[in-house]
Amino acid sequence: QLSDQQKMSESPLSWFRGLYLPPALYPLNKTLIKGGKWKGVDSAQEKRRSFLHDFCKKYNSRKKLRTHLIHLVSRIYVEDRHKVLYCEVPKAGCSNWKRVLMVLNGLAASAHNISHDDVHYGKHLRKLDSYDLKGIHTRLNTYTKTIFVRDPMERLVSAFRDKFEHPNSYYHPVFGKAIIKKYRQNANEEALKTGSGVKFKEFIQYLLDSHRPVGMDIHWEQVSKLCHPCLINYDFIGKFETLEEDANYFLQLVGAPAELKFPKFKDRHSSDERTSAEVVRQYLKELSKEERQLTYDFYYLDYLMFNYTSP
């Protein structure tokens, strides 16, 4: 048996290696679930869990663990009171999830009066990478870990609409200018100066370019790289398509106050039509057949892991 001191002096990766590969599938503790109305949600949950587990067992191998532990947990939010770990996937209900975590943590009385800026820039919630190794280790082993995902194409189109079709003081000058400069022939001075008006086809050219003029961004990064679902053993896999049902079941599972329900409101641009399969189809029409195929290939792992149908 190694002493704690010896364990801490080892590289974080070697200490965690045995924990992750392959991740074991533990039964969910359902002692707090009341009433029989959750049967359908529960059965869908069990299918998702075992599907992901089987996928990871089949595709995982020890050789693939190249990521530093701290990076592995850098997107995971911690709620210590109810022992919850939530991996943030942007454009899959993450703003409202962070509101719920703030309420669970006693930082707000209701999810409905927390502003968008407070959620994303308020620094009210801790991330798992802010704890020491022992703190990370304990929480990964004892807290209920959840991830909420979304159809990859819907998530991608939703991110594009949010960041490039509305005024944005970060995405237009940082991403927009670089994208227009590299992928638009004969771009006018105004577009080059402001970075506004990026077309979906140009955005996809940037996404698929191995020599991107600007880096990746969490809003369109693959879930497999944001949350590492084959290395971290998520206890609960929610889907944006069944967001409210899944979220409210999960809240019961972790013993949240009975009056706390997952918020229904759309966080921003509430007058816009939601990004649905039909909306996605309209955007994909702007791409060539090859570009559509390459975009699917880019998110191939996400499609496989979470059992989404290819578009």
Q: Tell me: the pLDDT tens digits for 75-100?
A: 999 999 999 999 999 999 999 999 99
What tokens were used for 51? Answer: 């599907």
Give how far Cα 20 sits from Cα of 17, 61, 88, 252, 266, Å: 6, 11, 20, 27, 36
Q: What is the mean pLDDT of residues 5-10?
A: 44
Q: Distance between terminal CA atoms of the chain?
A: 51
Tens of pLDDT, residues 37-84: 899 999 999 999 999 999 988 886 544 555 577 888 999 999 999 999
Q: Residue 12 pLDDT more than 50?
A: no
Of all residues in the chain, what percent carry a pLDDT higher than 90?
A: 69
pLDDT score, position 163: 96
| All residues at 6 or more sequence positions from 41 whose CB lies less than 8 Å from its CB, including other chains | 242, 245, 246, 249
Residue 233: φ, ψ to 5°:
-90, 90
